[in-house]
């Protein structure tokens, strides 16, 4: 069962699903953000795909929108697959996948902490690393590092 045949099965179930392989980059399956949960459910529980581990959950700020990359891995068939979605920058909301993969809770809290992306359905979404009262989302490209407390900003040479 080659990968293309499997991909065709997915094509029928999901509307705007496309296969991307840019130059000098790994192949990704691009899908829009509101049908992510459906796709991951199929990929995990369907015996055909059986991707049972979310190895890593990456968010990237592409200046005009965010990209979420789900790096799945299947222990039985030793294959890994990357799913990617694009989220609009100012209304950054996506449904949470903690029901499917429990490991995503920490990742989602971190991405919310660093990028400000809201994960609907995640029970206690809170800042993971930054202190509770921190303002702004540090890993965004437009985040200005002007906090006077940071070491190299303070001009005082003791």
Binding residues for another protein (CB under 8 A): 22-26, 52-56, 58-61, 69, 71, 75, 78, 82, 101-103, 105-106, 114, 127-131, 138-139, 141, 151-152, 157-158
Nearest residue (CB) to another protein, 5 versus 144:
144
Closest approach, Cβ 95 to another protein, in A, equals 18
Closest approach, Cβ 157 to another protein, in A, equals 8
Closest approach, Cβ 34 to another protein, in A, equals 24
Q: What is the DSSP string of the chain?
A: --HHHHHHHHHHHSSSEEEE--TTS--EEEE-GGGHHHHHHHHHH-TTT---EEEEEEEEE-SSEEEEEEEEEETTTTEEEEEEEEEESTT-EEE--TTT-TTHHHHHHHHHHHH--EEET-TT---SSS-TT--S-TTSTT-----TTSGGG-----
Nearest residue (CB) to another protein, 14 versus 143:
143
Nearest residue (CB) to another protein, 11 versus 102:
102
Closest approach, Cβ 19 to another protein, in A, equals 16
């Amino acid at each position: 069962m080659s990968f293309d045949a499997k991909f065709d099965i997915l094509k029928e179930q999901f509307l705007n699903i496309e296969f991307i392989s840019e130059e000098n980059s790994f192949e990704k399956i691009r899908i829009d953000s509101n049908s992510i949960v459906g796709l991951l459910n199929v990929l995990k529980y369907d015996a055909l795909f059986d991707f049972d581990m979310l190895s890593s959950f990456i968010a990237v700020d592409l200046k005009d929108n965010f990209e979420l990359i789900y790096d799945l891995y299947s222990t039985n068939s030793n294959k890994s697959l990357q799913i990617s979605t694009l989220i609009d920058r100012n209304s950054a909301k996506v449904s949470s996948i903690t029901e499917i993969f429990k490991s995503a809770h920490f990742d989602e809290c971190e991405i919310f902490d660093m990028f400000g992306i809201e994960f609907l359905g995640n029970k206690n979404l809170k800042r993971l690393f930054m202190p509770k009262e921190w303002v702004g989302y540090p890993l965004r490209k437009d985040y200005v590092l002007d906090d006077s407390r940071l070491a190299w900003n303070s001009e005082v040479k003791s």
